[in-house]
A and B are shown apart, each in its own frame.
Chain A
Amino acid sequence: MEEQVIPGWKKWFEGSGDQIIFLKGFFRNMFRGGFEWSEFVRQCYEIGYKSFMLVGITSFIMGLVLALQLRPTLVNFGALSMLPKSLAVSIVREIGPIITAMICAGKIGSGIGAELGSMKVTEQIDAMEVSGANPVQYLIVTRILATTFMVPVLTLLGDVLGLLGGFIAINITSSVSVMLYFNKCLASIDFTDFLPAFIKTIFFGFIIGFVGCYKGYNSNRGTASVGLAANSAVVTASLWIFVIDAIVVQVSSLLFYR
């Protein structure tokens, strides 16, 4: 029994050590000369533009459903006028960032894990390394920075579309002008709602890129490893997103909402 437990822990510590070395490699290569701008822009396009529809539709539906669900409860309390505020705060603080991050972990994280895993299996990464090129700078730095940059941008767009979904839901039963609705939404959120939420999306983006790259780059040889790398990238990144969310919410509660 003891023999089974010890290798598990050993493996966990080895894995943690590998991740720290990988992280160090990322930072060292990020500040090294010859940044791959064209690859970074291409990755931003792949990650951002191609995920926009999925994030947009999901956020829109979430806003719409949330408004429809909130409405009866608020009516019972005679607080229907609080609907735009409730929507704005919940979407900007929590629902927008989490929904966007989870979609990105599924779509982008698995994509990066599978792409790099397949490059590993077909010896493309080895070919880069033995030619004297720098695969970390070309493949890893660009992808992690692209997710770190694009996830917050996608979250902002998702927030706007989520609020638009809420507006449509409200207008199913009553008539409210766009200007009035968005004015009420914007008036009900302030700097302390927006800033911690925005900062956590930067961490979400970083962890999605980092986990995807780490799992893909370190996958074993063999086709099964590609699927495993993609799957493991999604599961691990999703878990980290919730951990980061819990930490950021705790810290921001201590700093802003006491």
Chain B
Amino acid sequence: MEETEKNSEKKSKPSETVIHIKGLKKSFGSNDVLKNINLDVKRGENVVILGKSGTGKSVTIQCIVGTLAPDAGEVTVFGEEVASLKERQLKELRMKIGFLFQGGALYDSMTVRENLEFPLTRVLKLKDQGEIDRRVEEVLDNVGLSDAIDKMPSDLSGGMRKRVGLARTLIVKPEIMLYDEPTTGLDPITSREISELILQMQKKYKTTSIIITHDMECAGITADRVVIMRDGEYTAEGSFEELKKSKDEFVRSFF
């Protein structure tokens, strides 16, 4: 039933490419992390990137958001080549991209409310306190954490921190969401809840997402398409079910 719903929704999605990566290469010293990455992500699509640790999954999304510059190749987001953008243009692009870090990366000297207000006042430059409060309460309600509004990050569990981190990235209504191992370090039940939350939020906010994970259940719940990385290159690509039936031993070792 859920699968049918997902498929029908996929058919109705426009096919505009929002992220285009071609021949991406990145090295750190003598270590060639990315050798030749090619990827197109269409609007509204959820792409899961799988791969062993150290294969360059995080480096790929850091190139998308412009915190790392590629050595060769091009990364284009909304038709703009990230590496060629000036500071102001890069800032404007980043306002359209949400990035959920592995540990949530909550500002630990601020309460949950202040964490959520931070992008509204510093990035969107909102001044109206009523509007700020409304958006904070709305997004916290969406992630099911209305009661935690005045808590400090140190008072939250790992799963709650991820939810607040997700709320903080969604509050500016980004068009693209990048998730860096969103379920790492969580118990299986909370992992499933976070994966389902990612899917719900993707539907509600109509975002395009790239999800880096090792968690196959998370991949199964969230992925429209899965790409598998090996030694700095993509080795396989397809739907979760297709890859599950793959005859390639390396691909099957993930399932």
Please report A residues at the B interface, Cβ cutoff 8 Å.
Answer: 34, 119, 122-124, 126-134, 138
Size bin of chain B's contact surface:
20 to 34
What's the Cα separation between A126 and B107 when bound, in Å?
11
Q: Which of B65-108 contact A (CB under 8 A)?
A: 65, 67, 91-92, 94-95, 97-99, 101-103, 105-108
Q: Report yes or no: B101 in contact with A127, Cβ–Cβ below 8 A.
A: yes
CB contacts (< 8 Å) of B67 on chain A: these are: 126, 129-130
Q: Report yes or no: B94 in contact with A127, Cβ–Cβ below 8 A.
A: no
Partner of A123, one of B95, B97, B102: B102
Q: Taking CB as reference atom, which chain B residue is nearest A115? A: B109
Partner of B94, one of A119, A123, A132: A132
Q: Report yes or no: B108 in contact with A127, Cβ–Cβ below 8 A.
A: no
In the assembled complex, the CB of B171 is this many whole angstroms from the nearest CB of chain A, namely 10
Q: Report yes or no: B119 in contact with A131, Cβ–Cβ below 8 A.
A: yes
Q: Report yes or no: A127 in contact with B105, Cβ–Cβ below 8 A.
A: yes
In the assembled complex, the CB of B110 is this many whole angstroms from the nearest CB of chain A, namely 10
Given the interface pairs A126-B67, A138-B122, the reply to whether A132 lies near B91 with Cβ below 8 Å is yes
Partner of B95, one of A126, A132, A134: A132
Q: List 9 A-B contacts (CB under 8 A).
A: A124-B106, A124-B107, A127-B105, A128-B118, A129-B67, A131-B119, A132-B94, A133-B123, A138-B122
Q: Report yes or no: B91 in contact with A126, Cβ–Cβ below 8 A.
A: no
What's the Cα separation between A108 and B62 when bound, in Å?
33
Given the interface pairs A129-B67, A131-B94, A132-B95, the reply to whether A123 lies near B103 with Cβ below 8 Å is yes
Q: Taking CB as reference atom, which chain B residue is nearest A138? A: B122
What's the Cα separation between A128 and B105 when bound, in Å?
9
Whether, in the assembled complex, B199 has its beta carbon less than 8 Å from a beta carbon of chain A, the answer is: no
Q: Report yes or no: A123 in contact with B123, Cβ–Cβ below 8 A.
A: no
Please report B residues at the A interface, Cβ cutoff 8 Å.
Answer: 65, 67, 91-92, 94-95, 97-99, 101-103, 105-108, 118-119, 122-123, 125, 168-169, 172
Q: Report yes or no: A123 in contact with B105, Cβ–Cβ below 8 A.
A: yes
CB contacts (< 8 Å) of A133 on chain B: these are: 118-119, 122-123
Q: Report yes or no: B65 in contact with A130, Cβ–Cβ below 8 A.
A: yes
CB contacts (< 8 Å) of B65 on chain A: these are: 130
What's the Cα separation between A131 and B100 when bound, in Å?
10
Q: Report yes or no: A122 in contact with B99, Cβ–Cβ below 8 A.
A: no
In the assembled complex, the CB of A90 is this many whole angstroms from the nearest CB of chain B, namely 40
Q: Taking CB as reference atom, which chain A residue is nearest B178? A: A130
In the assembled complex, the CB of B207 is this many whole angstroms from the nearest CB of chain A, namely 15
Q: Report yes or no: A126 in contact with B118, Cβ–Cβ below 8 A.
A: no
14 further interface pairs, Cβ-Cβ under 8 Å (given A119-B107, A126-B105): A34-B125, A122-B105, A124-B106, A126-B101, A127-B107, A128-B107, A129-B67, A130-B99, A131-B95, A131-B98, A132-B92, A132-B94, A132-B119, A138-B122
What's the Cα separation between A138 and B117 when bound, in Å?
14
Closest 4 CB pairs of A and B: A127-B105, A132-B94, A123-B105, A133-B122
